[in-house]
Amino acid sequence: MNEKQLLLDRQSWGRFISSLKLFAISKQEGTKAIWLFIGLIAFMFGLNGLNVVNSYVGRDFITSIENRNLSEFMKQAMLYVGVFAVTTIVSVFFRYTEEILGLLWREWSTKRCIIGYASHRVYYRLKQKKGVENPDQRIADDIRTYTAGTLSFMLMLLNGTFAVIAFSGVLWSISPLLFVVSVAYAAVGTMLTFILGRPLVRLNYDQLDTEANFRASLTYLRGNADFVALSRREGGLIQLSLNKLAELLSNFRRIIKINRNVNFFTNGYNWMIQIIPALLIAPLFIEGKVQFGVITQSAMAFSQLIGAFSLIITQFQSISSYTAVAARLVSLVERSVQEKDEDMSNPVFLKNEGLIAYSGLTLHSPRSNRMVIENLNLEIPRGRNVLVQGPDETARTALFHATVGLWAVSHGHITRPWLEHILMLSELPYLPPGTLRELLMRPWPEDEYRYERKLGECQVSDESILQSLTELKLESLITIYGLDKRHHWENDLPLAEQKFLVIARALLAKPAFVFLDRPGTTLSPAQIDWVLGLFRQHAISCVTFEERGGSLDRYDALLDLEEGGAWKYRPVWNGRIVDGV
C-alpha cells in the first residue's frame, strides 16, 4: 500500500472483515468477545428504548407544570427520576462492557501483529527496505487507538441506526416538516464538514510519525548516554531533537488551523440544533394545536435524530485521526504479509533437514558490488564439521549471513534446514536483558504454526537447563542469578561466560548445524576444541569461520575463500589436509 493513499480501499476493508472473523472464531477470545458484543447490543436497545420513554415522560412533566397539576407533576417527577436511574445503570454497564471488549480485541490484535512482525524476520526486512516508519509505535500505540476507535464507531453507527428507527416515528408524529428538515440539515452539514476537514486525515497521519520521530531522537540519547557523554556529542543530538520538534510543531500548527475552521462550522451547526425545533413547533403551540411539552419532546427527538444523522460532523476530528491510524496499521500489516510471502516463496532457498548445500552461489558486496564469492558449489552433510577461512572478511561475512537469508544472493541456490535447526553464533555474543530462562529459549520455529504452539516449542524444562549449564560448568549461574530474575547480562557476566551461555542455548536447541563466527575472539584454542567436542557429542555439525586456520583436529573439511571470489574446498583427515581428492 502506498502510504500517501490514506483512503482505505476494497482490499483493506477485506482484511478488516477477515480480521473480525478471525477474532470471532479465535479459541481463547472469540466466544467471550461474541457474548460481550451481544451484551452491548442489548444495552444499546435498552438505552434507546429508555430515551424514547424519557421523551414522553419529559413531555408530560413539562405539560403538568403548564397545567399547574401538582399530583400529575409529582407522578411525572417520580417517573423522571426512575427513568434517569435506570438509564444511568444501563449506561455505566454499556461503557464497562465496551471497554472490556476493546481491551480483549486489543490483546488479540497486538499478539497477532507482534507474531506477524517478528516471524519470518519481517522486522529485519522492513528495516533494510524501509518504507514503514516506526513499526514499534504502530504496534504499541496505533493498535490501541484502532481497536478502541473501531469499536466506538461501530457502536455509534449501530446506536445511530437504532436512534433513527426509534425517533423517526416520534418526530414524524409531531411534524413531518421537522423530520424532513432534520434529514436535509444533517446532509448539508456532513458535506460541508467533509470538505472543510478532509486535510486533517493527511496531517494526523504525518503527526503520528513526527511525534514518534521526536520521541526516537530522545530515546537514542538515553540509550547511548555513555558514548555521548564520553565523546561530548550532545550538540548534534540536541540539534537533531530540536529539528524533530520543529517538524512536529509545524505539522501540529496546520492541524490547529484546520480544526479552527471546522470548529467554526460545527459549533454553529450544533447551536442551530437547539433552536430549529422551537422555530417550527412553537407556532403550533401558539395556535393551540399542540401542548407546551411537545416543544421539549420535539427538541429531544430532533437532537437525537440529528445526532444519528450527523455522526461525521460530530466525530469528524476523531474520525480523521482514526483514519490515519487505520492507514498506518494497514500499511504495516500489508507490508508484513508481503515480506512474509516473499520470504516463504524465495526461490533461492530449498529445505533439507540433513544438508547444507551451495549450488552455483555468487555473492557481491552490497556497497561496492565487488564479487566476494563466485560460483560456490559444495555440500555439507549433517555430521561433518567444516572450517571456513580466508583473508577477505567480507567474503566470510557474506557466506555466514547469506546462509540464513541475511545477505542478498546474486546467483545460485542454498539448501538448508529450517531456521530453528541452524543456529548462527556471532563473534560477540548477543544476550538481551531478561531472565536466564528467556536467554535459553529455543529459536522461534520458521514454519507455520499458531503462536501458542510456537511458544510452547520454545520453552525448555528446568532439568534440561540445569543439565546444559552443568555440562558447560555454568551451573553456579542458577544459584547466583536464578532462572526467573531479570538481569542485564552484558554488564553482569564476563565475555567468555556470555559466549558459553550462547553455546548452552545451542546445546538445548539441538540444531542440525551451528555456524560459529570467529570464536577465537572470545575463546582460547583449548576452549574452542572443547566446545567443538561438545557439539560433536550432541550430533551437532559445526561450520566455523576464522580469518586464518588453527588446529584442524576437529574438522572434516576446509573451505578457503580466496581473493576475487575464488574458493577451494578440501577434505581433512586426522587433522591434515588431504590434497588431490
Concatenated DSSP letters of 525-568? HHHHHHHHHHHHHTT-EEEEEESS----TT-SEEEEE-GGG-EE
Highest mean pLDDT among 220-234, 289-303, 426-440: 426-440
The pLDDT of residue 502 is above 80: yes
- DSSP string over 180-224: HHHHHHHHHHHHHHHHHHTHHHHHHHHHHHHHHHHHHHHHHHHHT
Give phi and psi for 514, each to the nearest 5: -125, 130
Range in 293-302, 487-496, 533-542 the model is least confident about: 293-302
- pLDDT, one tens digit per residue, over 373-414 is 999 999 999 999 999 999 889 999 999 999 998 898 999 999
pTM over 0.85: no
Asked if pLDDT for residue 101 goes beyond 70, the answer is yes
Whether the pLDDT of residue 292 is over 70: the answer is: no
* Tens-digit pLDDT profile for residues 323-348: 777 778 888 888 888 888 887 778 88
Give pLDDT, residue 1.
40
Provide the β-strand partners of residue 542.
514
Q: Which of 142-146, 282-286, 290-294, 395-399 is most confident?
A: 395-399
Question: Measured between alpha carbons, how far is residue 27 from residues 24, 329, 447, 455, 547 in Å?
Answer: 9, 24, 21, 16, 52
What does the pLDDT read at residue 25? 84
Q: What are phi and psi of 357, to 5 degrees?
A: -140, 140
CA gap 344, 349 in Å, rounded:
9
CB-based contact 556:565 (threshold 8 Å): no
Model pLDDT, residue 541:
95
Strand 422-425 relative to strand 513-517, pairing: parallel
Residue 27: exposure state from Cβ atoms within 10 A (0-12, 13-18, ≥19)? exposed
CA-closest candidate to residue 283, choices 292, 272, 271: 292
Q: Which residues of 396-406 are buried (b: 16+ CB within 10 A; e: fewer)?
A: bbbbbbbbbbe
What pLDDT is attached to residue 230? 67
pLDDT for res 2: 46
pLDDT at 11 over 90: no
Q: What is the pLDDT of residue 548?
A: 81
Number of residues that make up the chain? 581
Q: Are strands 541-546 and 513-517 parallel, antiparallel or unpaired?
A: parallel
- Label residue 479 exposed, middle or buried (CB < 10 Å: 0-12, 13-18, 19+): exposed
User: Between vectors from CA 361 to CA 359 and to CA 367, what angle results, nearest 5°?
Assistant: 165
Identify the pLDDT of residue 293: 67
Mean per-residue pLDDT over the chain, rounded? 83
The percent of residues above 90 in pLDDT, for the chain, comes to: 28
Query: pLDDT value at position 323?
Result: 75
The β-bridge partners of 422 are: 513
What whole-number distance in Å separates Cα of residue 325 and Cα of residue 318?
A: 11
Task: Output the CA angle 387-385-547, nearest 5 degrees.
Answer: 15
Question: What is the average per-residue pLDDT within 432-436?
Answer: 88
Residue 531 has pLDDT above 90, yes or no: yes
Radius of gyration of the chain (CA): 34
pLDDT the model gives residue 163: 73
Helix axes 30-66, 70-118, angle to 10 degrees: 160
Domains present along the chain, CATH in parentheses: 10-344 (1.20.1560.10), 349-577 (3.40.50.300)
With a cut of 50, say whether residue 352 has pLDDT above it: yes
* Under 8 Å between Cβ of 407 and 363: yes
Mean pLDDT, residues 477-500 taken together: 90
* CA atoms lying within 13 Å on the CB side of residue 255: 21
**pLDDT (0 to 100) of residue 527:** 92
Cα-based angle 476, 478, 481 (whole degrees, multiple of 5): 105
Instruction: Using alpha carbons, select from 226, 214, 190, 512 the residue that is nearest to residue 351.
Output: 512
Residues 6+ apart with CB under 8 A from 292: 62, 63, 66, 285
